[in-house]
Structure 1
């Protein structure tokens, strides 16, 4: 490693729409190489992706980093939260993963909240009140609508768990991503058997929760250009990873604009909001990450831009258009079956003004969640 002043590490982001890889020199913080590749999300009745597409995109992104990836001393994967990955006994996906923004499980979420005793019980016991995004509701939906898929499932994983397991051959997760499932309890920092029984999920199907700072495993032989034995960190969910990368400390709020919009802060106190607005997530360092999330952010803006054939920067000032961006339903407020709304149109309203209204609507929704 004559060109580096310290060991190289690889960070991988597997988001809703693409995989990104970054090789960094630990000694200097210098970015040595980057790579990116898209993957697919189905539309229609729900939001799903084939986990094998994530792996293919990850492989392409890492290979684009060139020889630097092979020199890496360690690698870590973070990914989109909440997604339900079901694997068979051979480790192959039983069906496409149900993504965080698939709202078909809204009825199951409402039923689970009631059956455990209501929102306050969930907030006290788990730390969050589950909505349609939470993995527990998605498993309940799968068991109800596709019982044959549930019976064929030999392992349940989150998106970043699936990718880490393909690197190491070992089923692991971390407390940050586990806290978004609805079956990992903040007060005990362990899987909750009462919730697992409620949704009909065997604890033996779940991955081991790796503590902050622990190693998840090492790279096994495979198609990626990593040296065999390269250390693999536990990884985490996307928002916990962002907080870690920012060096976030208690008292500083963050707004994040992505496919979804999030508002969060690190806290030393475990959150428990019975309204369900603030999720009581764990962070990647051993603290907590109270978080509010909207389903519709940049993806809603991009959709409006595409409808008019505009670049996303082609906004125009003025006009009276107002755009409610609930194209995928909404999580905050909890309106999973809502739809978008465009109002205030005039004869002189321009497409650029409507695009500006889409930006305004997405940001206003997030600021409302922050409040």
Structure 2
């Protein structure tokens, strides 16, 4: 085993705290985790990592549980034989948008931690509020309405902050805290995001926000690279309150690789870390995901879990209320484009379960679904002149588009997308079978991603002869194991260099954190001296990252005929969404 430097990455998610240690050549050295339900369910009264106040739509977590988990995960890492003294850098990720409220005792307590006592014993009294709102919280509708209206409309808010207002975003959460619990707000000396909270514990001081994670707050002006004064005024309640809120939030370093300091003496003496171990800014879980491999501009990651997420590295900033833009976590001038869907795997499962049950002893519940997908032609157009079929399948209320649960089926002219109309079994000459639903639900999910990303893609430099599309599509999550789903996503989204399954063992966020620490510590110089240049994240990690064992090509991606067919009906798909939204509003 190598005796060189190691780098530690964390992922503080809703249900776990994971730690992963990698070497300079990106090989994994050690791993450990704390599962909140398995380890702390009774102690903290949680279920699936959270507590819920259904009357107010609050979903939250005890901050003490996170503190408790830090000592436990480090103990487990050490028990596994991890050479803690070789760890030279630490970074990580936290669930985006979640916030922690520190009181005036926090800074001094963090600075003077006693290695003879646990973190929980010492940090239990430093929080102005004992809970952190979770990203699932939906208690802030009034605050969202206020944010959307404050700059004029949701489009204006998106142009400034990268997103329209959302329940989980930190700005709306802080505003609700000031209104709902004014005594907490007044006694709050500093506010952290989940990510900067974890960085603060290791730093022994309140850590600043990460330049990418700060853009998940609805408070940061992305183009101006500063806090937005008008949004701060809304959140603080008055112009006079802005100064105090700025102090609570702190300054934000623009460099994603800034070294914040060295690890607190507590961790040196209690767990054997080197006193020279450096801490860099921790980021959000979604930004950390795109750091888990050297994602180049025009590459996209599609997460196919219970929910679905589309992430892309892009130099273009074209915000819209229906999706999110965030600063790239390591590359200034680049952005992270993100789409979030509630309806992913659950919606596909419902369509799967409605299919006729297979005969014989077939036990794989997806075999019948996959057969239906692959045997159904694109848009279920079997012959020239057949209409194209389009659908929306939302067993849960959806974010994109923002509609309640329901299923809608439409047809349109397959050649140009003209004449979109809602499908009716009683009046249509076209049959719509459960087998068609299997193909169309996957197409629907991919078409939504293509519709919203189409203005951000361009011709891939190495493939100028092809139409604009992503360079590569990387699939992660449970759905990435399904070859039929991979085939349809390649048909719809393209992928000039193919569709790949990314396998990082469920540790993408922690791994992205470890890579971020490695890059910050090994990129060279300080970037300030004349002629001196930092090595970029993509250059450093890309030179060391090995595709073998990490990714597997699962589909060829771009196919001319199919890609053109889906492009022809994209306008009809958008019109279907518009009509569904119009009916929902009425």
Report the TM-score range of the alignment, normalised by the length of the smaller protein.
0.7 to 0.9
What residue in structure 2 maps to residue 191 of structure 1? 227
Q: Which runs of 5+ in 1 are unaligned?
A: 303-312, 342-356
Relative to 1, partners in 2 of residues 1:63 and 1:141: Cα closer, same or farther, differing over 3 Å? Answer: same
| 2:83 aligned with 1:68 | yes
Task: Name the counterpart of 1:86.
Answer: 101
- Look up the SS of the partner of 1:60 in the other structure: helix
Structure 1 residue aligned with 2:30? 33
Report Cα offsets for 1:1-38 as digits up to 9, x if no partner.
xx325311101111121111111111x32111100112
Deviation string, structure 1 residues 220-269 (Cα, Å, up to 9, x no partner): 12256233341011121111111122111111121124575321101112
Q: How does 1:1-371 map to 2 (within 5 A)?
A: 3-26=1-24, 28-39=25-36, 40-43=49-52, 44=54, 45-66=57-78, 67-91=82-106, 92-93=126-127, 94-168=129-203, 169-200=205-236, 202-210=245-253, 211-222=255-266, 225=271, 226-257=273-304, 260-273=307-320, 276-285=321-330, 286=332, 287-295=334-342, 317=368, 324-326=394-396, 329-335=397-403, 338=404, 368-369=448-449, 371=451
What do residues 121-153 of structure 1 show as CA deviations (whole Å, max 9, x unaligned)? Answer: 212222221221211111122222222222222
Residue matched to 1:351: none
TM-score (norm 1): 0.81
Distance (whole Å) between structure 1 residues aligned to residue 181 and residue 443 of structure 2: 37
Q: Distance in 1 between matches of 2:149 and 2:329?
A: 30
CA distance in 2, matches of 1:259, 1:51: 26
How many angstroms apart in 1 are the aligned matches of 2:201 and 2:142?
A: 33
1:75-94 CA deviation, whole Å, 9 max, x = no partner? 11211111122121123231
Classify 1:38/1:166 alpha carbon distance in 2 versus 1 (closer, same or farther; 3 Å).
Answer: same
Structure 2 unaligned runs (5+)?
A: 37-48, 107-125, 237-241, 350-363, 373-391, 408-436, 452-586
Residues 324 and 361 in structure 1, CA contact (< 8 A), matched pair in contact too: no
Q: 1:314 to 1:230 in 2, by over 3 A?
A: farther
CA contact (8 A) 1:127 1:187 kept: no
Q: For the Cα contact (< 8 Å) 1:297–1:363, is it kept in 2?
A: no
Once the 2 structures are TM-superposed, how far is the Cα of residue 340 of structure 1 from its aligned partner?
Answer: 8.6
Q: In structure 1, what is the Cα distance between the partners aligned to 2:85 and 2:324?
A: 38
CA distance in 1, matches of 2:442, 2:260: 37
CA RMSD across the alignment: 3.3
What SS does the aligned partner of 2:231 have? helix
Mapped contact 2:144–2:165 kept (Cα < 8 A): yes
User: Displacement, 1:46?
Assistant: 2.0
Aligned length: 340
- Cα deviation, residue 364, structure 1: 5.9
**Corresponding residue for residue 468 of structure 2:** none
Q: Residues 316, 102 of structure 1: CA spacing in aligned structure 2 closer, same or farther, 3 A cutoff?
A: farther
Report the Cα distance in structure 1 between the residues aligned to 2:329 and 2:27, rounded to whole angstroms.
Answer: 23
Q: Structure 1: how far apart are the matches of 2:59 and 2:441?
A: 22
